[in-house]
Amino acid sequence: MQPESGPPVGRAGDPDNTAGEIPDRGSVHEFTHSGEPQRLDAILCERVPGHSRAFFQRLIDEGCVTVTPPARREIKASMRLPPGSRIRLVIPPPRKLDLSPRDIPLEILYEDAYFAVIDKPAGLAVHPSPHQDTETLVQALLYRLKDLSSIGGEERPGIVHRLDKETSGVLVIAKNDRTHNAISSQFKSRQVHKTYLAVVRGEPGEEEGRISLPLGKSYSNPKRQAIRMDGTGREAVTDYRVLERYRGYSLLEIWPHTGRTHQIRVHLAHLGTPVACDKLYGREKTIYLSTLRERPRTADEPQIMARQALHATAITFRHPHSGETVSFTAKLHADMRELLGALSTYRAYR
């Protein structure tokens, strides 16, 4: 990982990086650990002063720290490094988060004094981050809703749960902190029921099933999650049912019982049926009509699917004020409808 911009690269331990001096953002620091075995985050605090331990823990989680010899397990802040370990730290350049309200098209499925339910479009990130500078759902919420909860912090007002950027569908937004806590507690106690629809590559061997495999960060790619059978993963359970089979594809209905990062995508990929157009875990980045028709593609042919074919279609929970059970649904978006129409026409079993 190379810094995008900023001042010239500096090295921890060099004369120009003296103790007590706050290191420049956008810099690279390399050094060898000496002394007794010590936690990685504690080593970084000592060798690169000017930042909190939480700051370094976040950089470790984001894959900005590498260790030589390579760690046999995922690099974590708590891992103890023996003397002689070589550490490389990249401090990314600062990027100011844009929290200005934006008039972004947004469909509100339901709204009352306590929460709102929206139909998130694909391609819209839920909240801003230092690694992306595109428009976000948070900006749309700040423009359209008067009140938002503050528990998620300044960067995530109203955000109780998330969907991946390329996933479309229902998302609940809290308008005050009491509502936020009430709905969050239902998520934690697994009282919120979510239903997804996915077009996947391939066909599951069974008509329905349960995938119960723990998930954790990939050791090789910090952007990916992976099945972790070494005791470091967190419980993850996904139920699925085949709604329709096509030649080379299937339409699945999915019920995740836990809410791990990329859970559905990783579980389905492990099953051998990754979500169609899943760029991180799948087999292809885009789908063209000519591909489904098994004909040559023309140079100017448009894509019919260019994002992961995953849609959060329904959510059910208890209303935080009345206590009654409420359910909300979002219809499939146009690109997934077009994909299913093409599959029905050209890939259906006759």
Instruction: Flag whether pLDDT at 263 surpasses 90.
Output: yes
Mean pLDDT of the chain, nearest integer: 88
For residue 183, the enclosing domain spans: 107-188
Q: Do 261 and 171 share a structural domain?
A: no
**Does residue 38 sit within a domain?**
yes
Instruction: Flag whether pLDDT at 168 surpasses 80.
Output: yes
Decide which of 94, 126, 155 is a domain's last residue.
94
Tell me what pLDDT residue 19 has. 34
Q: Which residues lie across from 90 on neighbouring strands?
A: 28
Tell me what pLDDT residue 153 has. 78
Q: What is the pTM of this model?
A: 0.75
Tell me what pLDDT residue 121 has. 96
DSSP 205: S
Tell me what pLDDT residue 25 has. 52
Q: What is the pLDDT of residues 53-75, one digit of tens each?
A: 888 888 898 889 999 987 777 78
Q: Do 249 and 112 share a structural domain?
A: no
- What is the DSSP code string of 22-52? PPPTTEEEEEE--SS-EEHHHHHHHHS-SS-
**What CATH code is carried by the domain that includes residue 114?**
3.30.2350.10
The CA distances from residue 255 to 187, 190, 307, 312, in Å, are 14, 12, 21, 10
Least confident of 82-91, 129-138, 173-182, 216-225: 129-138
Q: Do 306 and 252 share a structural domain?
A: yes
Q: What is the pLDDT of residues 200-209, one digit of tens each?
A: 999 999 999 9
| Residues 29 and 89: beta-carbon distance below 8 Å | yes
Q: Cα(260)–Cα(347) distance, rounded to whole angstroms? A: 33
Total of domains in the chain:
3
Instruction: Flag whether pLDDT at 287 surpasses 60.
Output: yes
Least confident of 16-25, 259-268, 283-292: 16-25
Q: What is the pLDDT of residues 1-22, one digit of tens each?
A: 332 333 223 333 333 333 333 4
Q: Do 286 and 201 share a structural domain?
A: yes
**What CATH code is carried by the domain that includes residue 74?**
3.10.290.10
Q: Which residues lie across from 29 on neighbouring strands?
A: 89
Q: Do 243 and 136 share a structural domain?
A: no
Which residues have a catalytic role annotated? 164
**Does residue 179 sit within a domain?**
yes
Q: Do 258 and 140 share a structural domain?
A: no
Please, which pLDDT band fits residue 132 given cuts at 50, 70 and 90? low
Decide which of 188, 208, 232 is a domain's last residue.
188
Please, which pLDDT band fits residue 291 given cuts at 50, 70 and 90? very high
The CA distances from residue 261 to 37, 55, 93, 139, 234, in Å, are 32, 21, 26, 23, 10
